[in-house]
Copies of this chain bind each other. A is one copy, B any other.
């Protein structure tokens, strides 16, 4: 063969994968690009790709890491800046921001969420940094509201989980594409239905 592939620096390979995948995904859309294509474009074997990333969801998650981080930082900053406004208001603000992020990165997120098979001690969405960040954020807000006696009686852990997971990509897509709801309306309705009723009147 023209050039026997030398053992590459592992870091080099990782960078190449990320760079190539980002390029391909941007060009053809996340859905349409197969792992085989990514491997071929990156000049590595499929086995090599799968050794780094268990599946496409994993790969996307890694490519989204930066986006998630900045989103999380934005939310943190926002909540810090607004820390004197009512909890409920901050909660609504967070949801609005999340919806915009969700909409913006929809293609990626819908690929990431795909994996089924919820077995114990396995990497799932529920162990991922994005879930954990949202969990912490919502949990803190609910706890704060509870301490201030602004919250109805709730199982806070359950509620936190439910608020995060109740918005599936399919459902979002359905509301947006089929029902034609603008994002602002979706966010507003979600707050109206799922967030605000958790707070005591007054």
Contact residues of A with B, CB < 8 Å? 110, 114, 116, 118-120, 124-126, 152-155, 158-159, 161-162, 165-171, 173-175, 177-178, 181, 186, 189-190, 192-194, 197-198, 201
Contacts and interface: CB of A to CB of B under 8 A. Distances in A.
A194 B162 contact: yes
Contacts of A178: 118, 120, 126
Main SS of the interface on chain A?
helix
A5 to B, nearest CB: 36
Contacts of A161: 171, 174-175
B174 A124 contact: yes
A192 to B, nearest CB: 6
Nearest to A167: B166
Contact of A162 (B110, B114, B153, B166): B166
Nearest to A189: B158
B120 A170 contact: no
Given A118-B174, A126-B178, A159-B189, 18 more contacts: A110-B116, A118-B170, A118-B173, A118-B178, A126-B174, A152-B197, A153-B192, A155-B189, A155-B192, A158-B181, A158-B186, A158-B189, A158-B193, A161-B171, A162-B171, A166-B167, A166-B194, A197-B197
A175 B159 CA distance: 12
